[in-house]
Copies of this chain bind each other. A is one copy, B any other.
Amino acid sequence: MRISELSLATGVPVATIKFYMRECLLPAGDPVTSTLADYGHAHVQRLRLVRALIDVGGLSVAATAEVVRALDKQGVAMHDVLGAAHHALSRPVPRETNLTGNELAEARHTVDTLIAARGWAVNPSAPARQRLARAIATLRRLDLAADPDTLGHYADAADGLAAYEVATVPEAPREAAALHVVLGTVLYEPVLTALRLLAHEAASARRFAALGKD
């Protein structure tokens, strides 16, 4: 199909498609003449992936390019494609936190202990370790519970979901499995956080609404 048809099929403007090709998010089409190229179903699929990562995952163009690169690289294990998705999903580190090195080191120790206690095989440089440590240090600074017992409730919920999610990844073909892993990692996160807010509101109604204006 022509680029205008690709645009119609995906709802992505032609100018945006050209921008994605320049940024290596999308391969070029097969040249037909010096000014015309042909695009296929793979382009439609890739465009949908890119839009999902940017729109729903909230990834930057650079982070999306990183995930796409890992996907396209031959010989990269599925487990490493997942790593690229995780890295991309990690929000930028806040500009200033006021947390001391000591507070962060203690929280990091809590994270490492939790991971070891659960027997989780996790890369020592996984960005989620640092993100969790930062959240824990902030909770403690504000006198909110971040002891192993409290964290265990969240880890149990995460463990159950992750086991379910990874079990649903298709066996083959590799491209489909990788796509599923990347998309699932990014796209089920808002499902989980939105449902938590809805369940939270319902639980709050059960406990507080009867009290009216206190």
A213 touches B158 (CB 8 A): no
Give residues 150-181 of A contacting B (CB, 8 Å): 151, 153-155, 157-169, 174, 180-181
Query: Given A75-B213, A77-B211, A199-B155: A135 and B194 within 8 A (CB)?
Result: yes
Cα–Cα, bound, A96→B205 (Å)? 34
B196 touches A138 (CB 8 A): no
Cα–Cα, bound, A188→B150 (Å)? 10
- Which of A29-37, A51-59, A64-72 contacts its partner? A51-59
Contact of A83 among B51, B201, B212, B213 (CB under 8 A): B201
B151 touches A94 (CB 8 A): no
Cα–Cα, bound, A214→B177 (Å)? 11
Cα–Cα, bound, A197→B126 (Å)? 9
Cα–Cα, bound, A44→B65 (Å)? 42
A185 CB to closest chain B CB (Å) equals 6
A121 touches B202 (CB 8 A): yes
Cα–Cα, bound, A196→B191 (Å)? 13
Cα–Cα, bound, A139→B129 (Å)? 27
